Structure 1
Amino acid sequence: MGIVLNQSFKNTIITYIGFAIGGINTIYLYPVFLGATYYALSNYILSSANVIMPIFAIGMQNTLVKFYSQYKTNEERSRFLSFTVLFPFLAIIPVLMIGFYFFDEILLFLSKKNLIVKKFIWLIPFIGLCMAYFEIFYAWLRVHMHSVFGNFIKEVGLRSASLFLLIGVYYNWITVEGFVYATAVVYFLALVITMFYAFSIQKPKFQFEIPENTKDILTYTFYIILSGSVANLLLDGDKMILNQYMKIENIAYYAIPTYIALVISVPSRSMHQIVYPITAKLMHENKHDEMNTLYKKTSINLQMVGGYVMLGIFVNINKLYELILNGLKTEDEKLLYLSGIPVVFMIGLSKYFDLILGNNNAIIFNTKYYRMVLFLGVLLVILTIGLNMIFIPIYGIMGSAFATLLSITLYSLAKLLFVVKKLDLYPFTKQTLHSLALTLVIFVAFYVWDFPFNPIISIVLKSILLTLVYVYLNYKFVISIEINQVINKYMKKMKLMK
């Protein structure tokens, strides 16, 4: 776990810096500087691009990670890297041609409820294409154990660029429409920068030669496309459906609580960048016991860190929304944004449950059994869409949040049972129950009161107190041996213990 903890720690710090910048954008700047309409529009475009991204990438980012370590010579690896970069064009070209041919029909369907979407519809495939190749070159870096740079571009770079663009809107350097177009340029620049950095790590020798194990690669790639589509639809599909049934402004009211809840999954995202290739290697070498140990460690470590983040959000949510409402002008708009608080809890719980499964996804996608689980995921996407179509017209954004909670929980539970039954791998220990109990007790103790101060001061003071209590109790009950060892190390450096 040494290299895992090292790079995961760096990735976690970078990701939280990015999320902090994104939090400033989301909580205050987007609603105030862009207004609900253009905030919702930009969010809808990015969500739609993220949904179609797996089709453009055709799973090459995961295929690269899974098969790269199986090639022994530099020539074989170079040939495989070339293949992963060039092969997606076999999907991109026909998809774009189909989109162009049926452009009017697609345009009419997506803009039937909100005409403002019509003018910007072409940005969705452009940004989706940039996202796809960014992920491929990011995977290129990850297999060479250089995940930190790509993570910095993805988490900090993109959000910092949005921050500067929002400041530009405030000072009238660009219009709100210009902000939407400039966002597409930012994603293109992120792709270019990551590509050249990847090439600096290993200089490419582009040659479109079919690898020897092409059948295995193509089979795996097909199912990874399904996997990526399932994951992204579960993440962003609800916003696309909201556009079909409600005024586009509702996406803005929904985007804030979903972003806040998404912070809970940051530790998982950070650790996944480095754990995935290690998991692929252990699975390929059939090291069951080592894999089982890694599974348990990732589960309890993520549960402990993720539980802390979830508690920090849940116990401060009322004061956090005070900050959001302070920047708004009308009471009606404040009430609409305020309706997002229950959404935070529903989406947050679904993220927490998925997080405590550790490297579950990495395990599944590196076994011969991944097909069945992916087909199950497709069924759950159909369920998600169906539930959204039922609940959104009745309950609005609350209905969408409930549909997401139910769908993601069922999907996570199915994956967990599959790994336990088929692979005899178990993520949970007695520490899992101890951690759940501590989290529940601390939540009840902290949620029922707030400091009667300015929201920012209240959040800071309450978070400090929460941190002291949470860290002390988790350390005292030895919830995570690895995290206790890290704490002991720093306490010795600070001469607080022998």
Structure 2
Amino acid sequence: MSVVARQGFKYSIIGYVGFLLGTVSIFIFMNNLTFYGTLRYIMPTAEMLVPFVVFGISYANVKFFPKTDKDGKRQNMLSLSLAAVFINFIIFLVVFFLIPYFFPGFKNTKAWNSRGIILPLTLMLSFCAIFNKYISNYKRIVVSNIFDNLFPKIANLGSFLIFMYLASRYAENSTVPENTALIFFFGMFVLMFAGYAFYTNKLEKIRFDFSTDYFKKDDFYKEFAAYSFFGFLGTFGNYLAINNFMIGEFLGMEENGIYSTLYALISLISIPQLGLFNISAPIISKNLIDGDMEGLDRFHKKTSLTLYFLGAVLFSCIMVGFPYLTHFMPKNGVLLREYEPVIWIWGSAVLVDLATGFNGNIISLSKYYKFNIVVMLLLAGLTIVLNLYFLKHTDLKLIGIALSTAISLTAYNVIKIVFNYLMFKVSPLSIEMIFVSIICTLAITVAIILPNADNNFINLIYKPAVVLILIFTGNYFTKIFPVEDYINAKFIKSLLKFR
């Protein structure tokens, strides 16, 4: 078995383990949404700060690896990158602690009150970002996936269980349970950093070289810094981290916990999208190089329809099954039912995102790659502005956040559709998507109006089953999506092959 095949197979296994761990954890976290919300505030806030410390240097470690490898200076690049991140962090700390002198209200924020864990976590994640991209140059993805996918989930689950255990043994106003749990939480990321360093050293013994001569030669540092800056600008589209931060600041940790739980459910819709870029990138690149826009348009439409159909099926099942699923959650399940509109609004926005396929990837692989940075900044800015409006001027709370996300994400995708059509004459949209929408809407409507059984477990099974039967029956007669190409012995056998 080749290295790529082994890595791909192991990567998939880790992905499924992470997915199962995250799904099971949802039911555990429902026992205390406030502390879960605290965890989901700390991590995204640190992730939001990481770009200001890394400043795109991690992406430059991929871009310039072939050059430094050829010149025997890859260790020099890694060493200076780690040193630059540390220096950036010191500068960031100075700015962070100066903010209260100019904006005294900053001391009343949760970010300031949680600085004792957020700031060290930011440093750990920044170092990990450098190692992550550097390791990718060796075509090794499994270990990085373990660190990025499993470690945060273990940190969340482990610290939550520690908190629940100690909370039952200490007085309600004791800080021991939370402090102990957060020590474990941070410790997992220290372990992740140590693991990255150990694995990098295993691939190639780390030899620190802080000499600047190579980077000064022919002003290479200017090229390196310029690319890093564009990488830095392209990291501001993480609207999920923005939402977690703003919900925690304006609404509270319990609402943040509810939001994170709903997001975990909605993220199931995006499962078909996993791995799309890695699979499609070579095809997109070849079509762009060959100037075959007709071939790219056909591939774009086919892939987008596949993602939209599969996403719509999953979304339809979630829509009709969600009210009954909450009955099997702890007491806080009622809080999720109160925010059921979030599922409808947010899920619809994710479907729009799926329908646009690899729009962003076409732009990224073309000479117009900088345009993606512009729309990323637009997405972040629009999300922040809309969040502020809904949080400060309405009583919609999480529903407002869902509307904000839906509006900004839809605008983001519409802009990319128009841009790609004008520049490349390609579009992800097709008439078949309208028929998919009609069939799924009818299936959801029928499932909802059907009588409920007295047992919620039966409802949880039979309602989505009705949806599936109706969708696939409708698809059988309309021939919108070639299900028979996927549900057959030949395709299933192909999944077990490693080539």
Give the alignment's TM-score, normalised by structure 1.
0.79
* Residues in 2 aligned to 1:180 and 1:5: alpha-carbon distance in whole angstroms: 38
The residue that corresponds to 1:388 in the other structure is: 387
The superposition leaves residues 93-145 of structure 1 with CA deviations (integer Å, 9 ceiling, x where unpaired) of 32122223446777852635x6xx65422322222333333333333344443
Correspondence list, 1:349-388, <5 A: 349-388=348-387
When residues 242 and 161 of structure 1 are mapped into structure 2, their CA distance, relative to the original with a 3 A threshold, is: closer
* Residues in 1 aligned to 2:461 and 2:200: alpha-carbon distance in whole angstroms: 39
The residue that corresponds to 1:235 in the other structure is: 240
When residues 467 and 366 of structure 1 are mapped into structure 2, their CA distance, relative to the original with a 3 A threshold, is: same
* Residues in 2 aligned to 1:409 and 1:241: alpha-carbon distance in whole angstroms: 20
The Cα of 1:429 is off from its aligned counterpart by 4.8
Query: Contact 2:444/2:467 (CA < 8 Å) preserved in 1?
Result: no
The Cα of 1:342 is off from its aligned counterpart by 0.9
* Residues in 2 aligned to 1:457 and 1:158: alpha-carbon distance in whole angstroms: 34
- Counterpart check, 1:135 vs 2:129: yes
Task: Name the aligned partner's letter for residue 386 of structure 1.
Answer: V
Task: Name the aligned partner's letter for residue 225 of structure 1.
Answer: F
The residue that corresponds to 1:411 in the other structure is: 412
The residue that corresponds to 1:271 in the other structure is: 276
When residues 131 and 161 of structure 1 are mapped into structure 2, their CA distance, relative to the original with a 3 A threshold, is: same
The superposition leaves residues 196-239 of structure 1 with CA deviations (integer Å, 9 ceiling, x where unpaired) of 3344345555445439765554333323222212x22x112123
Correspondence list, 1:261-340, <5 A: 261-272=266-277, 274-275=278-279, 278=282, 282=286, 286-289=289-292, 295-296=300-301, 298-324=303-329, 327-328=330-331, 336-340=335-339
Task: Name the aligned partner's letter for residue 147 of structure 1.
Answer: I
SS in 1 for 2:230: helix
* Residues in 2 aligned to 1:80 and 1:140: alpha-carbon distance in whole angstroms: 10
Query: Contact 1:8/1:270 (CA < 8 Å) preserved in 2?
Result: no
The residue that corresponds to 2:173 in the other structure is: none
- Counterpart check, 1:221 vs 2:224: no
Task: Name the aligned partner's letter for residue 405 of structure 1.
Answer: A
The Cα of 1:490 is off from its aligned counterpart by 4.1
The residue that corresponds to 2:427 in the other structure is: 426
The superposition leaves residues 270-302 of structure 1 with CA deviations (integer Å, 9 ceiling, x where unpaired) of 434x3587479659x834437666645643443
Superposed CA RMSD in Å reads 4.1
Q: Work out which of the residue numbers 74, 92, 95 in structure 2 matches 1:95.
A: 92
* Residues in 2 aligned to 1:148 and 1:121: alpha-carbon distance in whole angstroms: 32
Query: Contact 2:160/2:181 (CA < 8 Å) preserved in 1?
Result: yes
The Cα of 1:437 is off from its aligned counterpart by 4.4
The superposition leaves residues 137-194 of structure 1 with CA deviations (integer Å, 9 ceiling, x where unpaired) of 3333444433333223322332134323333333339713322332122222223323
* Residues in 2 aligned to 1:71 and 1:481: alpha-carbon distance in whole angstroms: 47
Query: Contact 2:378/2:412 (CA < 8 Å) preserved in 1?
Result: no
* Residues in 1 aligned to 2:179 and 2:160: alpha-carbon distance in whole angstroms: 12
User: Which piece of structure 1 moves more, 211-220 or 357-366?
Assistant: 211-220
Q: Percent identity?
A: 21
The residue that corresponds to 1:44 in the other structure is: 41
The Cα of 1:410 is off from its aligned counterpart by 0.6
When residues 406 and 323 of structure 1 are mapped into structure 2, their CA distance, relative to the original with a 3 A threshold, is: same
The superposition leaves residues 64-110 of structure 1 with CA deviations (integer Å, 9 ceiling, x where unpaired) of 44555677848366665556555434533321222234467778526
The residue that corresponds to 1:399 in the other structure is: 400
* Residues in 2 aligned to 1:443 and 1:9: alpha-carbon distance in whole angstroms: 36
The Cα of 1:412 is off from its aligned counterpart by 1.8
The Cα of 1:402 is off from its aligned counterpart by 0.9
* Residues in 2 aligned to 1:291 and 1:205: alpha-carbon distance in whole angstroms: 45
* Residues in 1 aligned to 2:204 and 2:51: alpha-carbon distance in whole angstroms: 25
Query: Contact 2:107/2:113 (CA < 8 Å) preserved in 1?
Result: no
Task: Name the aligned partner's letter for residue 224 of structure 1.
Answer: G
When residues 353 and 86 of structure 1 are mapped into structure 2, their CA distance, relative to the original with a 3 A threshold, is: farther
When residues 416 and 442 of structure 1 are mapped into structure 2, their CA distance, relative to the original with a 3 A threshold, is: same
* Residues in 2 aligned to 1:96 and 1:491: alpha-carbon distance in whole angstroms: 53
The superposition leaves residues 395-414 of structure 1 with CA deviations (integer Å, 9 ceiling, x where unpaired) of 22211211111111111221
Correspondence list, 1:112-191, <5 A: 112=109, 119-172=113-166, 175-191=177-193
Name the larger-Rg structure. Answer: 2
Task: Name the aligned partner's letter for residue 53 of structure 2.
Answer: F
Query: Contact 1:279/1:363 (CA < 8 Å) preserved in 2?
Result: no
Q: Which runs of 5+ in 2 are unaligned?
A: 170-175
When residues 377 and 158 of structure 1 are mapped into structure 2, their CA distance, relative to the original with a 3 A threshold, is: closer
The Cα of 1:483 is off from its aligned counterpart by 8.8
SS in 1 for 2:30: helix
Query: Contact 1:15/1:270 (CA < 8 Å) preserved in 2?
Result: no
Query: Contact 2:124/2:189 (CA < 8 Å) preserved in 1?
Result: yes
Query: Contact 1:10/1:148 (CA < 8 Å) preserved in 2?
Result: yes
The superposition leaves residues 4-40 of structure 1 with CA deviations (integer Å, 9 ceiling, x where unpaired) of 99977865664344233223323x32231xx343222
Query: Contact 1:45/1:124 (CA < 8 Å) preserved in 2?
Result: yes
When residues 118 and 207 of structure 1 are mapped into structure 2, their CA distance, relative to the original with a 3 A threshold, is: closer
Task: Name the aligned partner's letter for residue 18 of structure 1.
Answer: G
Correspondence list, 1:334-349, <5 A: 336-349=335-348
Task: Name the aligned partner's letter for residue 414 of structure 1.
Answer: I
When residues 488 and 345 of structure 1 are mapped into structure 2, their CA distance, relative to the original with a 3 A threshold, is: same
* Residues in 2 aligned to 1:410 and 1:281: alpha-carbon distance in whole angstroms: 26
The residue that corresponds to 1:200 in the other structure is: 202
* Residues in 2 aligned to 1:145 and 1:21: alpha-carbon distance in whole angstroms: 26
Task: Name the aligned partner's letter for residue 243 of structure 2.
Answer: D
Query: Contact 1:311/1:443 (CA < 8 Å) preserved in 2?
Result: yes
The residue that corresponds to 2:172 in the other structure is: none
The residue that corresponds to 1:260 in the other structure is: 265
When residues 228 and 269 of structure 1 are mapped into structure 2, their CA distance, relative to the original with a 3 A threshold, is: farther
Q: Which runs of 5+ in 1 are unaligned?
A: none
Task: Name the aligned partner's letter for residue 45 of structure 1.
Answer: I
SS in 2 for 1:180: helix
User: Which piece of structure 1 moves more, 341-350 or 195-204?
Assistant: 195-204
SS in 2 for 1:263: helix
Task: Name the aligned partner's letter for residue 319 of structure 2.
Answer: F
Query: Contact 2:99/2:106 (CA < 8 Å) preserved in 1?
Result: no
SS in 2 for 1:400: helix
